[in-house]
A and B are shown apart, each in its own frame.
Chain A
């Protein structure tokens, strides 16, 4: 059987088109044409070209060395300038421009964002109860935000550890001083995290009052036999020394 002529012609044209497409796909066009690399490179370039809004501490230091040095010597040393003064890249580019002048926040809310009491904040972080602590005064009228030394340095531990102090004050340990159990380096007052106070590492510390025959003047002390009670554990691993009678 002979094919009609138009079928052969059409077949030739279709064959030619297929051949050209295959040639383009596998011979002419390079493999990289089908890779995503160029698109990704374009995205990376686009990301890198985005405007920088926060200039960084180093840029602030170039002009404001005095404030920087003051801050660097104090307890706010690790806080970037733009934490309080806002993104300042525009100010670095045009220092005189009025529009990009960084704000000088004086409202209480700015300080209280970090320093209002919140039970989830880490232990020892300086916090105040905003309702109790001079409610109508601006923080900056007593504390210099660049060098925030409390007007009266925390003489006792409650300055920072108020919650523990309150708990202890209501407990049978109310008359026991913090330093009776904790050894506190002087440095802990200025750099709390670099010199942590100790916890008793032996049972003898509690034993000074609670061991049988310790001769504790306060007869109310619960007396136990250190050798027989509690195995090898240190006392505070089971008893909460700031509220020894326990919660509820």
Chain B
């Protein structure tokens, strides 16, 4: 290409480039309108979950349902939600075991340990923090909070650097081995926006999990919040979790 040709092309290119802004504006407008298909308005909700620790029987059905609903890898160390067994001994030692990593309950009931003072199950999942540390640390802006308070991961932007996995104080994220991107609980975003319950809440046999909208006037979760003494995990970190625990033992971390 000689100088003359280059200048000719450049003169033609710049008028053509002037349509660029209008194209961009159109794309942005489309994106901001959101999906036109449903009448769902994210600004009207602020989702949370209530967990009554005194009701959890540690049956693991929530973990299985979550895996089935969200294509979480089957290997027993990838979880969006999992259950921990706490055993508190008389000498103050706290023993924590993730029972969701076991493929089947043990054949023989474990012998009763007389030093155990208290023992119970605690379901865990992403706390959907109002001030999420994982969002702050993401170097490419792939994880963000939606208007209805759910923290999502944009798998097309995530570069799999694992910063967010390190940053989460609750250990709620994992790197999906198939997509090589960070993955986490979304409160089953595809279900709740359709008016259904998250899969774990749907199958919980003892109603240990309650899902709802913290902004609503009348809602099961609002009632749960009102009638129970509520604790959250690691309140000192000021992450403001939206997973509210009732009857939570002080030893739970």
Check: A158 CB closer than 8 A to any chain B CB.
no
Interface string of B144-169 (1 = CB under 8 A from A): 10100000111111000000000000
Check: B213 CB closer than 8 A to any chain A CB.
no
B114:A37 contact, CB within 8 angstroms: no
Chain B contacts of A47 at CB under 8 A?
A: 152, 186, 189-190
CB contact under 8 A between A125 and B57, given known A33-B24, A40-B154, A82-B202: yes
A113:B28 contact, CB within 8 angstroms: no
A118:B146 contact, CB within 8 angstroms: no
Chain A contacts of B56 at CB under 8 A?
A: 122
CB contact under 8 A between A45 and B35, given known A52-B194, A120-B119: yes
Question: How many Å from the CB of A173 to the closest CB on chain B?
Answer: 19
CB contact under 8 A between A78 and B27, given known A50-B190, A52-B191, A113-B105: no
Interface string of B106-125 (1 = CB under 8 A from A): 00111010101001110000
Chain B contacts of A86 at CB under 8 A?
A: 68
Check: B25 CB closer than 8 A to any chain A CB.
yes
Chain B residue at smallest Cβ distance from A109: B104
Check: A87 CB closer than 8 A to any chain B CB.
yes
> Size class of B's contact patch?
35 or more
Surface stretch bound by B, among A24-32, A61-69, A203-211, A215-223: A24-32
B154:A42 contact, CB within 8 angstroms: yes
Check: A224 CB closer than 8 A to any chain B CB.
no
A29:B69 contact, CB within 8 angstroms: no
CB contact under 8 A between A118 and B58, given known A38-B27, A47-B190, A54-B69: yes
Check: B197 CB closer than 8 A to any chain A CB.
yes
Interface string of A53-75 (1 = CB under 8 A from B): 11011000000000000000000
CA distance A76 to B203 in the complex (A): 12
8 A Cβ contacts from A79-138 to B: 79-80, 82-83, 86-87, 109, 112-114, 116-122, 125, 129-131
B152:A43 contact, CB within 8 angstroms: yes
B34:A87 contact, CB within 8 angstroms: no
B119:A116 contact, CB within 8 angstroms: no
B58:A121 contact, CB within 8 angstroms: yes
B141:A80 contact, CB within 8 angstroms: no
8 A Cβ contacts from B81-105 to A: 85-87, 104-105
Among A36, A83, A118, A130, contact of B203 (Cβ-Cβ < 8 Å) = A83
Check: B75 CB closer than 8 A to any chain A CB.
no
8 A Cβ contacts from B155-213 to A: 155-157, 186, 189-191, 193-194, 196-197, 199, 202-207
Question: How many Å from the CB of B18 to the closest CB on chain A?
Answer: 8
Check: B76 CB closer than 8 A to any chain A CB.
no
B109:A80 contact, CB within 8 angstroms: no
A44:B34 contact, CB within 8 angstroms: yes
Question: How many Å from the CB of B131 to the closest CB on chain A?
Answer: 17
Check: B133 CB closer than 8 A to any chain A CB.
no
Check: A152 CB closer than 8 A to any chain B CB.
no
B154:A30 contact, CB within 8 angstroms: no
CA distance A43 to B203 in the complex (A): 27
CA distance A153 to B22 in the complex (A): 74
Chain A contacts of B59 at CB under 8 A?
A: 113-114
B58:A56 contact, CB within 8 angstroms: no
Chain A contacts of B196 at CB under 8 A?
A: 52, 54, 56
Question: How many Å from the CB of B65 to the closest CB on chain A?
Answer: 6
What are 23 sample pairs from A and B whose C-beta atoms fall under 8 A apart? Answer: A30-B24, A32-B32, A37-B32, A38-B32, A39-B157, A40-B146, A40-B154, A43-B154, A44-B146, A45-B34, A45-B35, A46-B155, A47-B189, A50-B189, A56-B196, A83-B204, A87-B68, A113-B60, A117-B109, A118-B109, A119-B110, A120-B120, A120-B121
Q: Could you tell me which B residues sit within 8 Å of A by CB distance?
A: 18, 20-21, 24-25, 27-28, 31-32, 34-35, 38, 40, 42, 54-61, 65, 68-70, 85-87, 104-105, 108-110, 112, 114, 116, 119-121, 141, 144, 146, 152-157, 186, 189-191, 193-194, 196-197, 199, 202-207
